[in-house]
Amino acid sequence: MSSRPFNVKIGINPISWMNDDLPSLGGETPLETALSEGAQIGYRGFELGNKFPKEPAALRAVLGKYNLECVSGWYSGRLADPARTVEQEIEAVGPHLRLLAENGAAVMVYGEVADAIQGLPQPLFQRPRFINAAQWQAYADKMTAFARYTLAHGVRLSYHHHMGAYVESPADVDQLMALTGAELGLLFDSGHMTFGGGDAVAVLEKHIARVSHVHCKDVRPAVTKMARNRDWSFLQAVMNGAFSVPGDGCIDFDGVLRLLYRHGYQGWLVVEAEQDPAVAPSYQYAEMGYRHLRQLVRTIEQQGEVA
């Protein structure tokens, strides 16, 4: 049986220990706790959060202390605002782009925050939407131009479809990918895609050629159904346990990873699961997510293209 390596690295987002949007969830936890525990579990790197240094050398030092890599970092973009120019976005992204590039990150997470409600006490159905083709095209053109700029500086922009934002549903992702250039990568987030109404494996297969980064979070469908039926906000859904780590919900991660392997994906698999550490202890769940992904990767490597 022939097989080939599955060239992925398993990383984690510090949100398992501390939530930047909800400081009440682990806000008192020191960054060093997350880094030391993540390294002990076996994670190769961390995505950035608010507690990480913003200066390149200082970031390199704190990650280096635990032999961890800089995976990527969220950037709050505002290109959906018609008044926001690409030039303004380029000026704003400068320090963050330098922080990532000088610490070896190949991708930047782009999260659209213009008009987004993910941090507001509003029901998810009130999220913003582009209402005509002209609005979609104008946004896509700006995204392509911005992605071209970051790529020229060694970092590929990876668009994060997200609950409560302009690009949430499978149809939104279809539109964005159809209208933007190949410079813009897609950050495929299994949890947000499932919560947003999609089948994770089917959507991934459709857009696999554009996937440049992967967030691995699981979903508890009973909770997401309540979130929709009871008009919860995104943060209410998080507080009530909509998300968990891989292996603790309904998503077919074996199918997700086999697709990535078959299509030669080389990059990060990032465990990212917004939960309350008081309910879902950080170390226990971070280890659970790591073990689930690590075992799937090993099995797929052993079986190769056969399965």
- Position 219: which residue type? V
| Nearest of 296, 195, 288 to residue 246 by alpha carbon | 288
- The pLDDT of residue 235 is above 80: yes
What is the C-alpha to C-alpha distance for residues 86 and 99, in angstroms, rounded to an integer?
A: 20
- pTM (2 d.p.): 0.95
SS3 214: strand
- Per-residue pLDDT, 17: 87
Decide if 69 contacts 11 (C-beta within 8 A). yes
Please state which of the ranges 3-17, 258-272, 281-295 shows the lowest mean pLDDT: 3-17
SS3 195: helix
Tens of pLDDT, residues 22-34:
666 656 788 999 9
Tens of pLDDT, residues 82-97:
999 999 999 999 999 9
User: CA 263, 252, 162, 279 torsion: positive or negative?
Assistant: negative
What is the C-alpha to C-alpha distance for residues 34 and 283, in angstroms, rounded to an integer?
A: 8
Tens of pLDDT, residues 194-232:
999 999 999 999 999 999 999 999 999 999 999 999 999
Which whole number is the average pLDDT over 262-280?
90
What is the C-alpha to C-alpha distance for residues 85 and 146, in angstroms, rounded to an integer?
A: 10
- Per-residue pLDDT, 278: 79
- The pLDDT of residue 275 is above 90: no
H/E element holding 88? helix 86-101
- Per-residue pLDDT, 20: 64
- Per-residue pLDDT, 23: 62
- Per-residue pLDDT, 18: 75
What is the C-alpha to C-alpha distance for residues 177 and 106, in angstroms, rounded to an integer?
A: 20
Percent of the chain with pLDDT over 70: 95
Model confidence at 307, pLDDT cuts 50, 70, 90, reads very low
Which whole number is the average pLDDT over 57-80?
98
Return the DSSP state at 265: -
- The pLDDT of residue 1 is above 50: no
Which whole number is the average pLDDT over 114-124?
95
Radius of gyration of the chain (CA): 18
What is the C-alpha to C-alpha distance for residues 190 and 169, in angstroms, rounded to an integer?
A: 12
Q: Which domains occur in the chain, in start order?
A: 8-303 (3.20.20.150)
- Per-residue pLDDT, 274: 82
Q: What is the mean pLDDT of the chain?
A: 94
68 alpha carbon, distance to own chain's centre? 18
Q: How many residues does the chain have?
A: 307
Which whole number is the average pLDDT over 272-277?
83
By CB neighbour count within 10 A (0-12 exposed, 13-18 middle, 19+ buried), where does 152 fall? exposed
- The pLDDT of residue 36 is above 70: yes
Which whole number is the average pLDDT over 147-160?
98
